[in-house]
Copies of this chain bind each other. A is one copy, B any other.
Amino acid sequence: MSDPSGYRFHDPALATSPVSADELALLKATLLWSDNDTAALRRAGDILAPQVEQILDLWYGFVGSSPHLVATFAGADGAPDGAYLGAVRARFARWIVDTCHAEQDQAWLDWQHEIAVRHHVTGKNRTDGVESTSAEVPMRYLVAFVVPLTVTIRGFLAPHAADADDLEAMYGAWFKAVTLTAALWTRPYASGW
């Protein structure tokens, strides 16, 4: 598929993440990451990739029905901006697949940091050229989103898992990957990150 507008994974012009490879390794150790998770996440990615639109229908349904969340996608008049919602959605689809399949290397760290900045007041709305009443995604929602982004995935994995153990392995790896992402995306917000 062609890259969505604003998608810059592997763009060498991206800024270098302030998160070091050592910090990433310790962060992964803290959330119990193992090679088994990497393998299970690859399997999960193969299952999820053909279902990204259904997954996003579910997630966008939740966001759209939650005024405090859809406020993030407001235009200059405070009402949800359809083009903004659509542009983010296309990149969100790629995020699902990349989260499962990407090497967690420097290019990936740099891209995670770019996404992080796009939530923060220093970078929000810029990528899509939006005039928005929302200057920033509150950091607490990035943390809280670990729950909906995790629990909703089980139903997409379950029908395609080899067996119960495979399902638990893929679901557990996804949970860790989402939590790792949340931690990385909080980087621009905190002095004591």
- Which residues of A does B touch, CB under 8 Å? 23, 26-27, 29-32, 66, 68-69, 120-121, 136, 138-141, 143-148, 150-151, 172, 175-176, 179-180, 182-184, 186-187, 189-193
Contacts and interface: CB of A to CB of B under 8 A. Distances in A.
Copies of this chain, tallied across the complex: 2
Contacts of A29: 66, 68
Given A26-B68, A192-B121, A186 B140 contact: yes
A151 to B, nearest CB: 7
A30 B65 CA distance: 11
A184 B23 CA distance: 23
A30 B146 CA distance: 10
B190 A30 contact: no
Most buried by B among A138, A139, A143, A145: A143
Contacts of A23: 140
Contact of A151 (B32, B144, B145): B32
